[in-house]
Amino acid sequence: MNNNTQGEDHQPKKESLDSRFNQTLRNVQGLLKGRSIPGKVLLTRRLELFDNSGIQHQSPSYQRSYSQNDAARSNDADNYMEGGVRNTNNSDSNATVNKLRSSASNIETSAREVKSVMGARSTDSARVLKFTKELSGQMIVVERLRELAWSGVPPYMRPDVWRLLLGYAPPNSDRREGVLRRKRLEYLDCVAQFYDIPDTERSDDEINMLRQIAVDCPRTVPDVAFFQQAQVQKSLERILYTWAIRHPASGYVQGINDLVTPFLVVFLSEYLDGSIDSWSISELSSANISNIEADCYWCLSQLLDGMQDHYTFAQPGIQRLVFKLKELVRRIDEPVSRHVEDQGLEFLQFAFRWFNCLLIREIPFHLVTRLWDTYLAEGDALPDFLVYIFASFLLTWSETLQKLDFQELVMFLQHLPTHNWTYQELEMVLSRAYMWHSMFNNSPSHLAS
């Protein structure tokens, strides 16, 4: 009788695990087929324009590329999928590992089929047209825009898309211009009221805060010459100080200066052409600079409204997410988790900066806006999804980490070898994060030892 009962209890567990596996596999295969869910497909700029279509003549064209070459994808999928079940000890888990291994060839085959069936131009044209269709309606459906944006936004559409995703610009096109005008004027009033005043009218705390911001601005993205321009640093200072005064619960916290930079670059791209290396903010009128600063200010506010406790006293939100990251890594890659623990390294020692600056200091700056497409597409769910992105980011170097002692781990994690990264490496990080999120987020005990 007891044996029968145990068998009955065991059967639903097996079916549940199989169901989650099958769903995850469908997600990954769908992802490779270029659907609107997160995926391995990204947009890269092409030098030439399409021959036919008014839309494409007005804007740069894009081509799809794959985030791993076909020969490597099978091994990568095998490695990270096997890592996902490394902690299980029963026969069902072993069966799942075998399924995951065998599925790698299916995923590789899917990718090749997509390559052979879809020409780059038709795929790009269809994707750009989807964005164009969503953005041209009188009432934008933001959830559909999120689905499209998750896998990357064409750069020339990014300013409008980001404003909409953050709720700064209203989805109703009839109201949009008026709302933006009012918000920009409100920012100017705040600057006049809080920033453009003598120090004699500031409190000691406000003076100290302004000095700290003035010290941090020249340190912001130091390897990009554009951010060393005096006018750019002045704009950063105005945005940060005004935001801090308007948000006294947190005030200014080091790291928030980094969070302004993606917004500044994206909104400047509406006014400046070419590479950021050739940009000069002095070419813009004071009115345009004010509009750009206002957009940065309001978008920063919208972003941080969803993670306020990340920057309040003792930053409890970040501490909570670091703990979740540690637990997730333990489930996905127990050998790495055990090695880090054996060496006496705390996750807080390296991951705090990742959550504080949202990886801006860890990857080449030219990749940041693509990463932020996914961040902003996540909306209110972003804080929890960061845990999966950062787990995927860390376990990129799983084998290397297990060979390092404490001092070597500290040095390696402070200076990660990402300087030669391209969109391919970033897309692989996001793809793994998406798959692990599908497996773990709604089943916190799934695959736990």
Q: Which DSSP category does 203 fall into?
A: -
Q: Is position 1 within any domain?
A: no
In terms of domains, do 375 and 407 share one?
A: yes
Statement to judge: residues 327 and 277 lie in one domain? no
The total number of structural domains that make up the chain: 2
Residue that finishes a domain, picked among 306, 330, 345: 306
The mean pLDDT value for 356-367 works out to 97
Question: Could you tell me if residue 357 is inside a domain?
Answer: yes
What pLDDT shows up at residue 19? 52
Dist. CA 34–CA 30, nearest whole Å: 7
Q: Is residue 24 part of a domain?
A: no
Contact 364, 223 (CB under 8 A): no
Tens digits of residue pLDDT in 51-74? 333 333 333 333 333 333 333 333
Predicted local distance difference test score (pLDDT) of residue 442: 77
48 confidence band (pLDDT: 50, 70, 90): very low
Asked if residue 322 and residue 423 are part of one domain, the reply reads yes
Structure confidence at residue 75 as a pLDDT band (50, 70, 90) = very low
Assign 43 to helix, strand or coil: strand
Tell me the average pLDDT across 168-191: 97
pLDDT tens digits for 240-291?
A: 999 999 999 999 999 999 999 999 999 999 999 999 999 999 999 999 999 9
Domain stop point among 267, 286, 306:
306
Q: Are residues 323 and 292 in the same domain?
A: no
- Report if residue 269 sits inside a domain: yes
Name residues whose C-beta falls within 8 Å of residue 43's C-beta, 6 or more positions apart in sequence. 62, 63, 64, 124, 127, 152, 153, 154
Residue 65: what are its φ and ψ, rounded to 5°? -140, 160
**Each residue's pLDDT tens digit, 193-210:** 999 999 999 999 999 999
How many helices and strands in the chain, by DSSP H and E? 20, 2
Highest mean pLDDT, choosing among 22-36, 94-108, 149-163: 149-163
The answer on 353 and 299 residing in a single domain is no
Same domain, 261 and 327: no
One domain, residues 253 and 196: yes
Contacts of 441 (CB under 8 A, 6+ apart): 384, 388
Does position 367 have pLDDT exceeding 60, yes or no? Answer: yes
Cα 235 to Cα 215: distance, rounded to the nearest angstrom: 14
* Site of tokens 């030098």: 47
Mean residue pLDDT of the chain comes to 80
pLDDT at position 10 over 60: no
Q: Whole domain around residue 343: which residue ranges?
A: 316-442
Task: Average the pLDDT over 300-306 and give the result.
Answer: 95
Average pLDDT over residues 305-331: 94
Largest CA distance in the chain: 84
Q: What percent of the chain has pLDDT over 70?
A: 71
213 domain-assigned: yes
Contact between 306 and 382 (Cβ < 8 Å): yes
User: Of 306, 334, 359, which residue constitutes the final position of a domain?
Assistant: 306
Residue 194, pLDDT score: 97
CATH number of the domain to which 275 belongs: 1.10.8.270
pLDDT for position 444: 61
Residue scoring higher pLDDT (68 or 303): 303
Q: Which helix (H) or strand (E) holds 365?
A: none
Specify the pLDDT at position 126.
82
pLDDT at 319: 96
Judgement on whether residues 288 and 320 belong to the same structural domain of the protein = no
324/412 same-domain check:
yes
Question: Looking at the predicted structure, is the pLDDT value of residue 412 above 60?
Answer: yes
Examine the domain organization and report whether 368 and 301 are in the same domain: no
Question: Same domain for 226 and 352?
Answer: no
The reported pLDDT for the residue numbered 125 is 79
Query: Is residue 419 within 8 Å of 427, Cβ to Cβ?
Result: no
Report the DSSP beta bridge partners of residue 64: 43
First to last CA, the chain: 28
Same domain, 258 and 353: no
